[in-house]
Structure 1
């Protein structure tokens, strides 16, 4: 089988996007979620100003990182009529079973999950065992698989559009499917995020192949978007500024989507222009999806952020920003090593079993 040559600039972007997502999860699940649920009292006020600013600066990475991943999907799959979900399906099933084992071990050693009922734990265990791909326990996985299943429809729409049609299509998708639906939080919002950024990535592939955007402008727009988003998080989390009208603060749930889109496009265009060829980058990049599955699930979240690292206490201490960077790197590194083990030793075995079952079923079907 012909090996697909990976572009290391995009693989590096994939790594950076996942690092940003991990840092977002650290401050979101370890800090902001505890602020919302008041599991630790008035936690926001217990951090000094520099820690509050640091927490807000790490926050945008999650949503920008997710947008980048869907843009990468659009960039590389927009010219295909269909995509394969076999590999991702089996990988998710493997980690679903692993998460159930992880919970059972946590329960044996006496770890207590805060704010999760026994009924919720039981339902999640069933989901991880039976259908982790489509049950929403990993929302990104469900949205991605649905996006791949929608590829034939998107392809048939794409080939009929000219450049103006693309811009109108993306504009309508951004406003109705993304911003407005995000404000209302519609039932299929996760899929709508996927489709919107898929279309943006596809547009860049189709119409920006040879165009080189200004690096300085990309950096400037990224800084503006990141700072604007961070400042909005600060204001809505308890920060105060009499210069900002209350009406503007109330519009934050809509305004933030402009910053996310601006930031993700700027970051994507910056890396698109790079020329990198690195086997090591490609080697590490192959683990990014596994890093996501390992660290962001209902059983691992509290164990990592509130148990091992105790982010609420870390937030009250000095040098919070440095510690976030350090632990983000460690969590990413540990998960990447674990996923390399799966790729090297486990994946070949279950892929072989899958191929055997597929051949057997096909033979029986033909005989029938």
Structure 2
């Protein structure tokens, strides 16, 4: 929570923008309709997509960290929280209804009972982050008191337990799926880390920010190296199973990804600047996510319009094009939506004043 008179740190808003670019890159690959990787279809372009996709998955951790950083100190203001939840719900339904209506009109989505259910319950299909975000707005009044009452030593012990149980062990055992948790669970883990940083580190401990960048770059190198190594060995031995391990570290709970996210989060949190433009663009990041991850629009973006799967050998040009079109196209749409909602809010306010 930002106190009155305190300017928002735009460096974390910049990190949100970078994170959303990486998430779009991740979606380019995982939603692109690519055939399972094998020695018959592996290429330098495919390896490139595997690498950038990994950072997009890890970027989800950044958003949970930032949420914890800002919300750990939020007060139990029921009216304000309810207003925020209603705003989010209205935004979710606005995009769910408008996108479906446009695609149905264009013949890209069919009117059916099942599709109506997908519109009425948009968060149940492929939007785990939205579910986690809404859930945390409901649970914050109960989670924050528990975290705030912990001493720094107790909080550190809690984080160690969470890191071991929700990150290290699942990473080491993921091949047999013997120790798994949901993405919503892991949102809490990263929320707790972000809260700890705000309560016990931010503005209190001075240290060289270069160490944050160094650790982040080491994790970056490990990710690139693991993908390259698995592909090299898989191709050399003509083994599809080894090729399939190239993205072993991709899950957002991967301990390498968690350390990567913590490092870059701490780095940006220690770079203080204010930019009205950066903060305004960051205010549309949630909208950008909702638009391009809409259950009906997703296949149109990745498999119908210039199908991703047709570009595996030299995907770089189309990859860059879609990254820019999706981000800035969705940004302009959400900016228009914000202006529309602002105008409606002003109109309703004027009507209310006239009635009163």
- TM-score for both structures, normalised by structure 2: 0.80
- Relative to structure 1, is the Cα distance of residues 325 and 110 closer, same or farther in structure 2, using a 3 angstrom cutoff? same
Superposed displacement of residue 354, structure 1: 10
Secondary structure at 1:161 match in 2 = coil
For residues 45-90 of structure 1, the C-alpha deviation after alignment (integer angstroms, 9 at most, x for no partner) is 43522x1221022112322221111111111111224362533543
Which residue is 1:260 aligned to?
257
The residue that corresponds to 2:185 in the other structure is 192
Q: For residues 186-241 of structure 1, give each alpha carbon's deviation from its aligned partner in whole angstroms, at most 9, with x where no partner exists.
A: 99723211110011011111221232443333233222323433555567789717
1:280-295 matches, cutoff 5 A: 280-295=277-292
Q: Give, in whole Å, the separation in 2 of the partners of 1:350 and 1:185.
A: 50
Aligned counterpart, 2:67: 73
Q: Which residue is 2:9 aligned to?
A: 7
Given that 2:100 and 2:109 are in contact with CA atoms closer than 8 Å, whether structure 1 keeps it comes out as no
Deviates more, 1:286-295 or 1:97-106: 97-106
- Go from structure 1 to structure 2 and tell me whether the alpha carbon gap of 1:103 and 1:152 turns closer, same or farther (over 3 Å shift): closer
Where in structure 1 are there 5+ consecutive unaligned residues?
Answer: 37-41, 361-368
Deviation track 1:296-330 (CA, whole Å, cap 9, x = no partner) reads: 121111010111131111223x2x23432332122
Q: What are the within-5 Å matches in structure 2 for residues 22-33 of structure 1?
A: 22-31=24-33
Q: Which residue of 1 aligns with 2:151?
A: 162
Corresponding residue number in structure 2 for 1:127: 121
Q: Are the aligned partners of 2:14 and 2:282 in contact in 1 as well (CA < 8 Å)?
A: yes
> Mapping of 1:18-167 within 5 angstroms?
18-31=20-33, 34-36=34-36, 45-46=40-41, 48-49=43-44, 51-82=45-76, 84-111=81-108, 121-128=115-122, 132=123, 135=124, 137-167=126-156
Instruction: Verify the 8 A CA contact 1:24 1:58 in the aligned structure 2.
Output: yes
**Aligned: 1:330 with 2:325:** yes
Distance 1:185 1:140 in 2: 24
Whole-Å separation in 2 of the counterparts to 1:110 and 1:136:
21
Q: Tell me, which stretches of 5 or more residues in structure 2 are unaligned?
A: none
Name the CA distance, whole Å, in 1 between partners of 2:279 and 2:225.
Answer: 34
Q: Residues 4 and 304 from structure 1, CA distance in 2 versus in 1: closer, same or farther, beyond 3 angstroms?
A: farther
RMSD: 3.9
Call closer, same or farther: CA 1:136–1:110 in 2, change over 3 Å.
Answer: closer
- How many residue pairs match? The answer is 340
